[in-house]
Amino acid sequence: MTKTLQFIVEHLPQVKEADVSRFSASVEIKDALAFAADLEAFMHERVEAVQLPEFLEMETLEQSLAHKAAALRAHTRWMPGKTDIQRGRAVRLEAFNQPHNLPLPEFARLANKSRQQIYKDIDARRLLALNVGPRGRKLPDWQLIPLPQQLTQAVLQKTEGIDNWTLYRALSEPLEGLGGLSPVEAVTADSINDVANAVLNVLGMH
């Protein structure tokens, strides 16, 4: 039996005792329940005996995938509205202005490095820097601490092409697998590789 007929058979409505009464004018029914069961079995047998045309018997893999894709495809492409864009900018600006994100000159001073060296480290993906429009760059202060800085650098080296804001959130937001701590809070000397892999998993990179 083809899949089409199998589907039809499995979805035939059940014949109930009340349905049998429509035959009472033409036949004498002694056992309504038994008659209903026999009638239902008869319907199944008849459907199973149907021979479908060849073009209906089998759906190719390509057709099946096309039908599934069509069901998932939206009629109109989603585009962020002005409200969505404004909300995203507001969230990003709020994060940018958090006290732990230091202006580049301040970060360079605390790191005891020149600004030029900080720029070189950013370009070489040794440091994570954030920016929002013309407000300059800021760097998370956890990169002044050796272990979080090593973790950040390890992630940066393996995630070329992913924007810095996505990396910032992956590194700074709590992870259930790390006991509710963020990666930069949870990292230890013995767990840098494991924590880096946890961040990469969050980013969909394996």
Would the pLDDT of 46 be above 90? no
Of 80-89, 119-128, 155-164, 166-175, the poorest mean pLDDT is in 80-89
> Measured between alpha carbons, how far is 144 from 159 in angstroms, rounded to an integer?
21
| Amino acid residing at 140 | P
Q: What was the pLDDT predicted at 78?
A: 47
pLDDT, one tens digit per residue, over 7-25 is 665 667 777 777 767 777 7
Q: Which of 45, 59, 52, 34 is nearest to 9 (CA)?
A: 45
pLDDT at 162 over 50: yes
DSSP state of 126: S
Residues 95-143: tens digit of each pLDDT: 899 999 999 999 999 999 999 999 999 999 999 999 887 778 999 999 9
CA distance 140 to 149: 10
Distance between CA 133 and CA 28 in Å, rounded?
Answer: 86
At a CB cut-off of 8 Å and minimum separation 6, what does 153 contact?
A: 125, 126, 127
pTM of the model: 0.58
Residue environment code for 12-49, b if the CB has 16+ CB neighbours within 10 A, otherwise e: eeebeeeebeeeeeeeeeeebeebbeeebeeeeeeeee
